[in-house]
Amino acid sequence: MGNHLDENASFARPVRLGRSASTALALLACAVSANAQTAAEAINVYTTRERQHIAPLLATFESLTRIKTNVVYLSGDPVARLTADRAAGKVDIFIAAELSHLVAAKSAGLTEAVTNANLTGRVPAKFLDLDGHWLGLTRRVRVVAASRERVSQQAFTYEELADPKWKGKLCMRSGLHPYNVLLTASMIAHKGEPVAEAWLRGLKANLAGKPSGGDRDQILAVVAGRCDIALVNSYYVGGMRAAKDKPETQIAGNAVNVIFPNAGDRGAHVSISGLAMMKGAPGLDSAALLADFLTSEPAQFVYAQDSFEYPVREDVKPSGLVESWGTPKLDAIPLGDLTSLQAKAAQLIGKVGFDAGPGS
């Protein structure tokens, strides 16, 4: 698959696609774009996505266009590396695992607007930057993972998680993690700052302990009985249920129900993974071609299969496992509106001392 500059050698393993995903890619390979004839021979792709979620698509892009992808897999905060390498002309496109990475890249002045109306027209406006500097590729939904043994309730709201009846029964990762910061921003957008602050205090009081670990750890805590419910992104449950080579992980994933909050009103909170074009990129034409590829129907289907995220295109179905959870109602508020509230959300989270845990 081209010249990999893999900074995490432990990910260097073969990637296998399911039959339906392979079929979709085969169909896509039958439609070579004429634009590839005038594109650069190579493209520099920097990404914070895990290799197994993006490598199959980049490999197919190479076979389809004959454009080599030079890939750098980043971890942690990507801005410093992106800043240095963009200045040296080494970065054409940035594919981010989460929205906060895209917002940070834009804030650092590293990106430029996507002007291709055909491309942006494939992605719902609520998953586009207000200035056009980033666009979504997959949707990630913040859900309640509830113990099947101890929780019979089948409907939740985010507001209800602050109800004292859940005292000592809620698990969450750090309130300052980007997933929870953006959720808090959505609470500010819908309810206002005073309500959002009171909600954070209620969540903190209901925590089973000091926040630690990631979303997968919260699910494991529910299964272990340390709490009854956890606030997580749904794809973590999907990944655990599909871990056939890890029976204990698969059992844990099946021990919780996936519940989409606020189905009766605004819908469940949703964020994205996505991409951004680098300002002044030498391979900008090829970057645009890759973006066109990643937002095509077959590529969107493949992207969703092993990640257990939702395609950003609403005309493409998620994986069968994810589809089995039903069709959730999702919050319609534009993500561009929420990003402007992230600083205020982080301030409120710090103000209530969320990460100090209950009783602090």
**pLDDT tens per residue, range 337-356:** 999 999 999 999 999 999 99
The answer to whether the Cα torsion of 116, 131, 285, 315 is positive or negative is: negative
* Structural domains in the chain plus CATH codes: 4-139+271-323 (3.40.190.10), 141-268+327-356 (3.40.190.10)
Higher local confidence (pLDDT), 18 or 163: 163
pLDDT tens-place string over residues 171-196: 999 999 999 999 999 999 999 999 99
- Give a three-class secondary structure readout of the chain: CCCEEECCHHHCCCCCCCHHHHHHHHHHCCCCCHHHHHCCCEEEEEECCCHHHHHHHHHHHHHHHCCEEEEEECCCCCHHHHHHHHHCCCCCEEEECCHHHHHHHHHCCCEECCCCHHHHHHCCHHHECCCCCCEEEEEEEEEEEEECCCCCCCCCCCHHHHCHHHCCCEECCCCCCHHHHHHHHHHHHHHCHHHHHHHHHHHHHHECCCCCCCHHHHHHHHHCCCCCEEEEEHHHHHHHHCCCCCHHHHHHHHCEEEECCCCCCCCECEEEEEEEEECCCCCHHHHHHHHHHHCCHHHHHHHHHHHCCEECCCCCCCCHHHHCCCCCCECCCCHHHHHCCHHHHHHHHHHCCHHHCCCC
pLDDT tens-place string over residues 135-146: 999 999 999 999
pLDDT tens-place string over residues 58-82: 999 999 899 999 999 999 899 999 9
Mean pLDDT across the chain: 89
Q: Which two tokens stand for residue 129?
A: 């930057």
Strand partners for 289: none
Would you tell me how many other CB atoms lie within 10 Å of the CB of residue 153? 12
pLDDT tens-place string over residues 104-126: 999 999 999 988 888 888 999 99
Flag whether pLDDT at 13 surpasses 70: no
User: Can you give the pLDDT at residue 339?
Assistant: 95
User: Can you give the pLDDT at residue 27?
Assistant: 52
User: Can you give the pLDDT at residue 82?
Assistant: 97
